[in-house]
Structure 1
Amino acid sequence: MDEFTYAPILQRGPDACEYLRLDLPAPSRAEALGRTFLTVPGETLVALAERAFGDMAHLLRTSHLRQLRAVVDDPEASPNDRYVATDLLRNAAVASGGTLPMCQDTGTALIMAKRGLRVLTDGDDAAHLSLGVARAYDRLNLRHSQLAPLTMYDERNTGTNLPAQIEILAEGQDAYEFLFMAKGGGSANKSFLHQETKALLNRDSLPAFLREKIAALGTAACPPYHLAVVIGGTSAEAALKTAKLASAHYLDSLPVRGDLSGRGFRDVELEREVLEITRELGLGAQFGGKYFCHDVRVVRLPRHAGSCPVAIAVSCSADRQVLAKITADGVFLERLEPDPARFLPDETARLAGDAVPVDLARPMREIRQELSRYPVGTRLSLSGPLVVARDLAHAEIKKRLDGGEAMPAYLRDHPVYYAGPAKTPEGMPSGSFGPTTAGRMDAYVEQFQAAGGSLVMLAKGNRSAAVTRACERHGGFYLGTIGGPAARIAQDCIVSLRTLEYGELGMEAVQLAEVVDFPAFIVVDDKGTDFFADPGGPVLTIGRPAPAAPGDPSRTA
C-alpha cells in the first residue's frame, strides 16, 4: 500500500455564506493541555435554534427569490410559470412580515451539526437544540405536525413539534457549524431510493432512467423544485442523506471531478442535461410550462461493486434551510432576504385578474353545472364556503360510512378543501392556509362520491386514475390550487374559519372556511378529463376561456 492519505467523501470547499452576527452569549475561552478550548453555553444553543427556525418560517434565501423573479422575466416561461412565480413572490412578501409563516406545513425540524474537537459544551446539546425548536413552534404562529405513536395504530400530536431529527458529528477543530432545515411532509415524501446496477451507468441508460423517475415526482410538493440526484453511495442511507443535503445547496462547493480517493463530486455537465429534461417534461410550475425545477444538483459517490443506489430529493417552494456557526468571534446565522417585495414584478395586479369567478354559496348541483361549462386548465376565482378536511378527518368519516351511517351534510353541500392551517395569529381569521397533497385522499374518493360527498375537491398536485374515473362516474371535479402561497392565502382569501366537527384533531379538525377570490384551476372534470394526463404539455389559460361545449372534454391551450 502506498503512503496513506485521507479524503472525506463529501469534501466541501470554502464557506462563501453571508452571515449575521447574533447578540447571543458568545463562547468563553479556556486553556488546557497546551490548547485553547471554546466553551459554548447551553442557552446559546437554545437561542440559536429558536432564531433559526423563526427566520426560516418567514424568510427565504436571496438566491431563491432571484430565481423566482427570473421565471417572471423569462419570455419563454409559460403564463402558468409566471403566474405561480409571482404568487410565490407575493407570498414571500407577506411572510416576511413575521406574523404568517410562508407555508402552513412548518415542517419537521432537522438539525445537522459538526462540533469541533476544541469546542466544549455540557453534553446536552440535543436537548438544548430541541428546547429551541419547541420555543419557536410555541411562540410563533407555527403548526405542530409531529405525531407520537402510543401503540402501533394510535397516535397523538406531541404539541411541541418535537421530536426533532438531530445529528451531531465530531469534525473540525475550533468551530461549531450547523445546518438547520424545516422539512414539510410534501417535499419529504418526494425523497426516493432506487437500487440499480452497473448497467445504468452509461450515457444512454442514465438520462432515460432519470427522465422517468423525475416525471414521476409530480407537482404535489409545490414546484418549482431544487432537485438533487445522487448516483452511488457507500450505503442506501448515505445516498439519501447526500441527496437531502444537495437539495439544500449544502454541497455546492464539492469538487467537480473525482479521483482515486473515492471522493464525491458534482457532475455539472449532467446537471445541465437533467435540468433540460425537467423543462422538456412540460409539467412546469404546477400547471404546465418549463419551470418544474429552478436548478439541479447531481452528485456522484463511490459505491460497492455489487450495488448502485440512486437517490432523488427535492426542496420545494418553501426552501427552508439556514446555516449557522459558533466560533471564537461569536454566534453567526446565515443572512436571509429581509425584503422579498423588491423582487415583485410591476404586473402583479394584472396577473391576479382574468379568472372565472365561481360563487360557492349555491347548491352543489349549481356549482357543478357551472364548472362543467369549462374545460380543464381553466383558472377560477372561488368565493363562498369551503369545508376544510384532510387525512384524519377523512379516516373518521370513512369509519362512519363503513358502519352504515350517511355522508355528513357538510361534505354533500360544500366543496372540500384538503388543508390544515397553522396557528391563527391574534386578530386574523386563520393562520397560514395552503393546500395539502391531494393524492393522500385518493383512496376515499370513490366511496365518498358514491355517498354524495366530495363532489368538488380542492388541493394541490395530481390525482390517480381512480379519481378521474370516480369523477366521471359521479359527476365530480378536482380543482387544483397553487402549492406554496399559504401566507398570502390566509391574508387575502380567508374571511372566516370555524370548527364543524372533530375539534380534538387540532389542525386536522373539520372546519368551515369562508373564502374570497381563492385561486383554483380545473384539473379533473366530470367528463373524465385529467389536466395532467398528458405529461408533454398541460398549459393553463390565464385569460377567461370560452366555455366548453357540453360533453366536450378538450383542454384549453
Structure 2
Amino acid sequence: MTRIAQEDLAESLAEAFQFVSHHHPPDFVRALRRAWEAETHPPARAAMGQLLVNSKLAAQGRRPVCQDTGVGQVFFRVGCEVQFYRRDGSAPISLQAVANEGVRSAYRDPHNPLRATMVADPLGRRTNTRDNTPAVIQVEIVEGDALEVLVMAKGGGGDVKARFATLNPSDNVADWVIEQLPGMGAGWCPPGTLGVGIGGTPEQAMLLAKLSLFEPIDIDLLQARGAATAEETLRLELHERANALGIGAQGLGGNHAVLDVKVRTAPCHAATIPVALIPNCAATRYTRFTLDGSGPARIAEPDHALWEGIADQFDMPEALRVDLDHITQAEVAQWKIGQTLLLSGKVLTARDAAHQRMVDLLSRGEPLPVDLWGRVVYYVGPVDPVVGEAVGPAGPTTATRMDRFVEPLMAQAGLLAMIGKAERGPEAVEAIRRNGGAYLCATGGAAYLMSRAIKSSRVLAFDDLGMEAIHEFKLADFPVTVAVDSRGQTIHRFAQVGH
C-alpha cells in the first residue's frame, strides 16, 4: 500500500500549472521549428518565427506563453493500492478539492500570476471565480501502487472549436474531419495538433480526442517508416489533406497549420461511428508526473539547447513601421494583405464587454468615454503585470466575437482599424471596406513577446471590467499582419468558404 499526502499532490499540481504556463513541451518546440524552417509563405513564416521567439522568452522569463492561461484540467490514474491522507491528521478530502487547492495556489502565485478564466453560473451572471477553480478532473482507477497525473492548461480558443458527430458505418471519417476544418477558422491558433477520437459513446469519443493531444508529436517519424495500423494510416491522410487546405499558421496561408494528427479509438455500437475532433493550439501546455508517496513531484526543466539559434527578439527588416499617433486613412489605404507592420504609438484596448457598452451608448445618443476617431483598437485581455512590466502577457483574442460591433464603431465613432486574431466574418469585412479601415492580425499564442512591445498601460474607461477595461497601451515595434485591407480583401481565404 502506498500512502500519498494530499498536500504533496496539491503542491505538485501547483508547480505543474506554473511550469506549463511558461514552458512548451520540447516535442512541440522541435515540431514548430521544423515547420518554420520548411514554410515558404512569408506571413505564416513570420508568425511561426514570433511563436518560437515567444517560446524562448517565456521560458527564460517564467511568464505565460499566452494571456489565456487556460482551464486547469487534471487526469488522475489512481493505483488500487494508493491511499490518501492529510499530513495534519485531518480526514482526507476529495480529489476535486485537492485539485482546486493546486489550481488556486498556481493561479494566485504572486511571482507569476495567471489569468483566472473560470466563471460560475454559466447561464446567469457568469461571475469569475477569481482563482480559476474549479479544476476539471477525470479519475481512472488502475492497477498498481502509484498515482499518475496529467496536467494541462487548455485555452478557450482550442476547445471552443471542438466538433462531434455520429457517423454511419459507411461514412468516411477522414472526409468528415477535413470538412470541419474551414469552418473552425483560425481561432484555435494554428499551428498545432488535431486530436481525433473514434468509437465508444459520445462522451468517450470526446475524451479520446482530448487525451490523444498529449501524446508526443512524431508525425515525421511515422512518415519515414510508414503506417502499420488503420489509425496510423488515418493520421497520415489527415495530416496531408489538412495542410493541403492552405489554412496555414494563424490562418494566414501556407502549408503548416497542422503539426501532427493524433487518433485514439474504442469499440462502439455496430450501427454507429462516433467521431470527435479537438485541436490543440500554439499555446500547447501540459506535463505529467508520478507520485509514489516519497514527497511532491519536481518538474524537470528542459535543456536550454532546445531554443538554441532562436533570436531574443522578433525582427523583420522588410516590415513597414507605422506611427499610430499620426496615422491617417490615406496611409491605411496603402496597406496590402499579408504585409507585416511594426506598430508604435498609442493603441486602445477593448473586448466583448467594453464593445457592448460603447455600442449601447451610441444607440442612446450618449458620448463615449474615449474618443475613437482615427484610433486603433486591440482586442486583448492581458495578464496582470509583475514588477518591471508595463503589462503582463497580452496576446490577441478572437476577433469574430466583435464582428457585430465593427459597423457602428467605425461609421458612428470613427474607429480606423482593429487588431485581433483569426478571421473576420463577411459582415465585418464589408464594414471595414465600406468605412475604409483595416483589420490587423497579431499572433495568437505569442503573448509574452507581444507584452514586451508594450511600454506603458493605463486604464481610460470601464475600470470595473478588470482585464476587459479600456486601456491605452503605448507600443514600440508591435508586430502585426494586414489581414483585411481597406478594399475588403482578406488574407483568410478559407473564411470565404467556411463561414
TM-score norm. by structure 2 comes to 0.90
Aligned to 2:325: 361
Aligned to 1:144: 116
Could you tell me how far apart the structure 2 residues matched to 1:234 and 1:250 are?
23
CA contact (8 A) 1:195 1:308 kept: yes
Could you tell me which of 322, 328, 339 is aligned with 2:304? 339
Could you tell me which of 212, 237, 240 is aligned with 1:246? 212
Could you tell me how far apart the structure 1 residues matched to 2:303 and 2:399 are?
32
CA contact (8 A) 1:110 1:165 kept: yes
- 1:330-409 equivalence runs, <5 A: 331-332=296-297, 335=300, 337-339=302-304, 342-345=307-310, 351-362=315-326, 366-409=327-370
Letter in 1 for 2:58: A
1:332: how far off? 4.1
Deviations 1:114-151 (A, max 9, x none): 111111112433212211111111112211122222x8
- Structure 1 residue runs of 5 or longer lacking an equivalent are 1-36, 257-264, 538-557
Letter in 2 for 1:148: A
1:319 aligns with 2:291: no
Classify the secondary structure of the residue corresponding to 1:48. Answer: helix
Pick closer, same or farther for the CA change 1:126–1:534 going to 2, 3 Å.
closer
Could you tell me how far apart the structure 2 residues matched to 1:512 and 1:428 are?
15
Could you tell me how far apart the structure 1 residues matched to 2:94 and 2:146 are?
17
Identity rate, percent: 32
Aligned to 1:200: 171
- 1:271-286 equivalence runs, <5 A: 271-286=235-250
Aligned to 1:25: none
Could you tell me how far apart the structure 1 residues matched to 2:66 and 2:82 are?
35
Segment drifting more, 181-190 vs 168-177: 168-177
Aligned to 2:226: none
Aligned to 1:172: 143
Pick closer, same or farther for the CA change 1:378–1:417 going to 2, 3 Å.
same
CA contact (8 A) 2:69 2:115 kept: yes
Could you tell me how far apart the structure 1 residues matched to 2:272 and 2:299 are?
37
Deviations 1:408-429 (A, max 9, x none): 4433342000000011011210
- 1:115-514 equivalence runs, <5 A: 115-121=78-84, 122-139=92-109, 140-149=112-121, 152-201=123-172, 206-231=173-198, 233-249=199-215, 267-286=231-250, 287-327=252-292, 331-332=296-297, 335=300, 337-339=302-304, 342-345=307-310, 351-362=315-326, 366-491=327-452, 493-514=453-474
Pick closer, same or farther for the CA change 1:535–1:162 going to 2, 3 Å.
closer
- Structure 2 residue runs of 5 or longer lacking an equivalent are 85-91, 223-228
TM-score norm. by structure 1 comes to 0.81
Could you tell me how far apart the structure 2 residues matched to 1:82 and 1:519 are?
13
Deviations 1:50-75 (A, max 9, x none): 1000110111211111112212332x
Could you tell me which of 30, 34, 41 is aligned with 1:78? 41
CA contact (8 A) 2:8 2:295 kept: no
Deviations 1:284-313 (A, max 9, x none): 112221010111112333222333322111
Letter in 2 for 1:207: A
Segment drifting more, 448-457 vs 113-122: 448-457
Segment drifting more, 526-535 vs 183-192: 526-535
Classify the secondary structure of the residue corresponding to 1:303. Answer: coil
Could you tell me how far apart the structure 2 residues matched to 1:370 and 1:211 are?
39
CA contact (8 A) 1:245 1:251 kept: no
Could you tell me how far apart the structure 1 residues matched to 2:62 and 2:458 are?
20
1:476: how far off? 2.2
1:102 aligns with 2:65: yes
Pick closer, same or farther for the CA change 1:161–1:340 going to 2, 3 Å.
farther
Classify the secondary structure of the residue corresponding to 2:317. Answer: coil
CA contact (8 A) 2:53 2:310 kept: no
How many residue pairs get aligned? The number is 479
Could you tell me which of 87, 91, 111 is aligned with 2:74? 111
CA contact (8 A) 1:266 1:300 kept: no
CA contact (8 A) 2:253 2:491 kept: no
Letter in 1 for 2:77: K
CA contact (8 A) 2:322 2:342 kept: yes
Provide the alpha-carbon RMSD of the alignment: 2.5
Could you tell me how far apart the structure 1 residues matched to 2:366 and 2:314 are?
48
